Chains A and B, each alone.
Chain A
Amino acid sequence: MKYYLSFCLLFCLTYCAQAQKLHVEYEYIPSAMATFREQVYYIDAMKTAVRDSIPVAPTAGDADNASDEISADFSMMLNTGTNYRRIVIQKSGERDLGETRSLQGKNYLVMDKFPVIEWNTNYTETDTLGKYICHKATADYRGTKLIAYYTNEIPVPAGPYKFGGLPGLIVMLYNEGANPHYWLLKKVSYPYNGDIPVDEKYIYSLPKLLLEDYVKKDEVLIEEQMRIMESKMPVMEGVTVERNKVRGTVEQVYEWESGKRK
């Protein structure tokens, strides 16, 4: 009993001593057309990232956003049914990462055996973003090259979405390509006294899918929509359309596909 009590006390003290409660907000910009807010909570080495399901409304007077609306008139959106918030839960020391994703309007908990990101921090390049002096780091990640800028001034290995593991907080991150997805740090608050607005019970009660199964199911649906579109496009002599070369996410090639996709 004595041992048990002292263990409990030790555990609590440990807990108090290591509690780093950090809340950061990123702007996630998947294209010039839309910007989403992403809240990241880093508490006790557990990271929870919550991305809004609807884009940031254009603020009055922001001419650029207004012209995004004009372009939006002529663009098409894949019909994916109801959109939910995207939540990523990453626990320290665990390779499995849980992410909520929706499929035809239904929400799932998608389990991702997340690969270790091997960052190359051997860059002398620095950049001042906001007030922070940021250092460059790069990594190969699921068929794309990540470029991150982190700050040593906030020594927390956190970042947006599934990313982190750098010596400091990620201030900006994007993937190299013609369709870069950008994450820009907008707000930092420490210590964070609020709760994480995520009902873990609900998350873990969602139907579970392995990432591989989810991606395959999702792409069957996208493929069908692309076929529908192709079937309505004008025919040009001797031209065949190349489909599905690029995924609309940062992740382009998954581990189970290595060698299959170019």
Chain B
Amino acid sequence: MITHSGLYRYTLMICLCSVVYCAQAQLAIHGQVTTAGLPLGGVRVDARLDGASAFMAYTFTDGNGGYRLALGQTGRIVVSFRALSYEPVTKIIELRQTDTLLNLALVPGGVERLQEIIINAKRPYGRGRDTIELDVKSFLQGDERTVEDLLRKIPGLNVGTDGSIKIGEKEVEKVMIEGDDFFEKGYRLLTQNMSVQPLDKVQVLQRYSNNKHLKGIENSDKVALNLQLKEDSKNQWLGSVSASGTPVEPFFYQASINVMNFGKRNKYYLLGTANNHGLDALSSINYLLYSGQTDEPGQIGVGITTPTLIDNTPDLPGFDYRRTNFNQDKLLSFNTILNPSKRLKIKWLGFANPTKKSFYRNTVQEYDIEDIQFTYTEGYELNRKINNYYSRWEMHYDVSNRSTLIYTGSLGSLGKYDSGALVFNGERTTELTKMKGYLTNQLLTHTYKLSDNEAIVSSARWIMQKSPLHYQIDQYYYDDLFQVGDVSNVYQHAKNDLQYAGITSHYVKKKKGGDFMEVAVANEYKSQTLVTDFILQREDGSQIRPSGFSNQVNFRTNNTHVMTKYTIKRRMWQLTPQLRAGFMQRDLSNDGVSRNQNNWLISSSLFTKWLIHHKGKLEGELSFQQMSSELMDVVPNYFNTGIQNFVKGLDDMATLNNSAAVITYTYGNMLDKFFANFSLGHKTMFDYISNQRSLNPNFNLTEQILLKDKKTMFYKAQFNYYVKLLNGNFRVDMGADFSEYETSIVGVGKRRIESGSYDYGLSFRSVWKSRLNIHSGSHIQIRSFNSEHMDRLKNTYSFLHIFFNVAEDIQANMKNEAYRFGDFLSESPKTYFFSDVSLSYDVKKIKTKFNISAKNLFNNRQFSNAIITDTYRAITEYRLLPRYAALGLDYRF
């Protein structure tokens, strides 16, 4: 029931609405457009204020020629009527009336015909236009703090929970700031810490090339991001600290601090870290040390270094090194990039890495070859002090738009002091190994872009390295070898120097149709000196230098070569023939007696890729290679490589020839339920370096010998099948390799060895929609050597990883592993179980992440690893870091 007052209110409201409607109706133009008296549809009617260029409103006439333009204001209005095939008409009206009627008749004329092909110069992709520039303002919603928060909001960029950034399924190479890069793949340090405030633009760089002049010339599918800063952005210090530690004994800790400041011109980055839970701190700055990629044009002298004479570092393939690494690592690193002018960029990095490491191992080696039967035991406790100081600088200078000069230099002081307490075949000794080396590496690279499709990259490099070594044991085990008694200490002083100079010029051309051509010429000069002085110190203080156990070698090589490579690319196949031909001059001098050898070295290969059908791809490579022997292969006399071993080379310069063929077939891809690949390879080494060994419980003498015809063969297969019922993928791995070669043992003679290695694996990975997911599997590895008798070893490894998302910000992981070793050396098979758990809680509001981790839950204190070789079988036992639980937090500021 509506009351009187209610009725009054309703009436008032209706009146008000009508008034509003009328007020709106006042500001409109309507009418009909006709031609020859007939209504005309599809005519654009627009209105603008007289003198203004922007539209107030626009519309198109309907099928009856009618239109209605609602306008926001009165005044002098210009109304235009436009349609194809009609003369445009413009009317000026004074809009005062409530609803102005404006009828119009158009006459034919105007644009009556269009036949055009539009050449659009602005193609979004293509040469030089692979950059997508995004305005940061468009994506800000107000709750972003770090660069990562912003990147999460940009459609098309995927940021993983670990901070990895992907565009589609491709991870970005690097995230730069104003074109400068510190971190390469370690970019999350930047994206997770840097504030979004100074950012102006984000650029997505597609088909990215590290050398900017090779953009569009080299074959690249890399993607990178570049962050551009606002002109007025102020330098801002930001970073993160993290710390974790065990609240009770045994005490383990980890602490690190990252501080950075990125200005438009100058950038600084400071890192300090320390830990004693096994992590090699230097690995955290690998991306700073080894920038650039080896497979890029114009590279020379990559990987040239002095050979290692004695290496006490434990080798445990497939096992987490952190479990055996008792360490105290410290690392301090300072890095800066300066841009003094638009053309010049200077980058400098320096670090100090004082570290202490210790590890413990017990080795039992069993020799059983015909009459040679003995067991060798070694208990080893190593304490190592490392003092590495390293500095690297880079200068980029843009000579012109087409050319850039880059100078890179480094200087390092690498010190290592190993002190080993040894129990060698039941007798104690102290082994000292001391190395204090220096290294400098200077590289000058010039890139000149000849045209859009071709460039020349020229480089010159100079390396000087000194790696002197002093070795000492305070026991004498070599009575049988030297027939000398009363020896108290054994020394070996070694001088191990390298000088290298290399120059290259590399021409790269991308041809029409997509073919690639490369031609390079290079000259490399290398001079290496190895002086080893082996001394037996007698109790009376006199020294004996046994004959044949000291070296004074100078090995010089000069290699001039030409490389040509041509890639023919078609839609379904690709073929790359490559030829490298060079002239090698070698000079070997020993104790002042010099020998030289000059010869040609030729290597060639043919690589092909063929898409057989839409799911199948075949790749094949045929190659023939000629290689020259290295310094360690030509050393004429024995030198010591540890307490048990003496090694010598061929005392001659050899050229080693080999040929190889590999074929790989891939079916499907990772998006298919069934995805498999299969590889088959064969290699014949027409010449190869093998060993002749003289075996003794206290020493092994190993002499290199040159033999002919070693054959190796391998196959490898992987099958994946996604089972819908279980929502997961089953993977089967199979692989084997076989070799046939010869070695020699003094007293036995030449031995023909057939070695085989077989690997089988089965694993399952779930992709359940639940919070829980697993990855589980098992691998079996069998190694065998067949000579006088068959030796065989079977090791298995099983694992179960559990991932549990407790809540959006809480993540728990559990990693379980089981290692089981074969039964030889009178030991029954033993299984080792390892279990590690971790739980993290990210409290974004306070920019802090809390974590708890527990390692080695079963508290295994020893771990044995079994190996077999063609001469012995061994079990090595390592001491492990005990069980511990640590609490930690990461805070970003």
Contacts and interface: CB of A to CB of B under 8 A. Distances in A.
Interface of A: 13-14, 16-18, 20, 22, 29, 31-32, 44-45, 60-61, 63-67, 69-71, 73-74, 76-79, 92-93, 121-122, 124, 127, 129-132, 143-145, 152-157, 167-168, 171-172, 174, 176-180, 182, 184-191, 224-233, 235-242, 245-246, 252
Interface in B38-76: 38-44, 46, 53-55, 58, 60, 62-65
B167 A178 contact: yes
Nearest to B801: A235
A121 B154 contact: no
A178 B204 contact: yes
Contacts of A65: 514
A258 B39 CA distance: 42
Nearest to A31: B125
A191 B39 CA distance: 20
Contacts of B671: 76-79, 225-226, 228-229
Contacts of A69: 514, 569, 571
Given A29-B125, A69-B571, A70-B219, A176 B134 contact: yes
B505 to A, nearest CB: 24
A189 B84 CA distance: 12
A176 B39 CA distance: 40
Given A232-B675, A242-B161, A129 B134 contact: no
A71 B63 CA distance: 50
A60 B513 contact: yes
Contacts of A182: 124
Contacts of A127: 122
A256 B780 CA distance: 52
A245 B151 CA distance: 12
A167 B155 contact: no
A231 B766 contact: yes
Interface residues of B, number: 101
A174 B122 CA distance: 13
13 contacts: A20-B83, A61-B513, A69-B569, A92-B63, A93-B62, A154-B84, A167-B58, A179-B167, A179-B168, A180-B132, A227-B727, A230-B767, A236-B162
Interface stretch (B113-121, B362-370, B583-591, B642-650): B113-121
Given A18-B63, A129-B120, A227-B727, A246 B54 contact: no
A71 B84 contact: no
Nearest to A27: B120
A152 B130 CA distance: 30
Nearest to B110: A155
A228 B42 contact: no
B453 interface: yes
Interface in B806-823: 811, 813, 815
A154 B513 CA distance: 37
A73 B805 contact: no
Contacts of B154: 177-178
A-B residue pairs, 6 tightest by C-beta: A66-B514, A178-B156, A231-B729, A18-B41, A179-B156, A130-B118
A13 to B, nearest CB: 5
A179 B223 CA distance: 13
Nearest to A229: B670
A191 B54 contact: no
Given A154-B114, A241-B160, A231 B728 contact: yes
B39 A238 contact: no
B722 A245 contact: no
Nearest to A152: B82
A70 B221 contact: yes
Contact of A63 (B43, B113, B510): B510
Given A130-B120, A155-B83, A184-B123, 12 more contacts: A17-B36, A18-B63, A66-B513, A70-B514, A70-B574, A127-B122, A131-B116, A154-B111, A191-B113, A227-B727, A231-B767, A240-B160
B512 interface: yes
Contact of B207 (A67, A76, A156, A168): A67
B159 to A, nearest CB: 7
B120 A246 contact: no
Given A20-B83, A174-B124, A235 B765 contact: yes
Nearest to B223: A178
B219 to A, nearest CB: 6
Interface string B364-384: 000000000000000000000
B164 interface: yes
A154 B159 CA distance: 43
B731 interface: yes
A121 B52 CA distance: 14
A252 B154 CA distance: 12
Contacts of A188: 114-116, 118
A17 B39 contact: yes
Contact of A185 (B40, B85, B118, B162): B118
Contacts of A240: 160-161, 803, 805, 811
B729 A228 contact: yes
B550 interface: no
Contacts of A129: 118, 120-122
A159 to B, nearest CB: 13
Contact of A246 (B155, B453, B571, B801): B155
Contacts of A93: 62
Q: Which of A65, A121, A228 has the most CB of B within 10 A?
A: A228
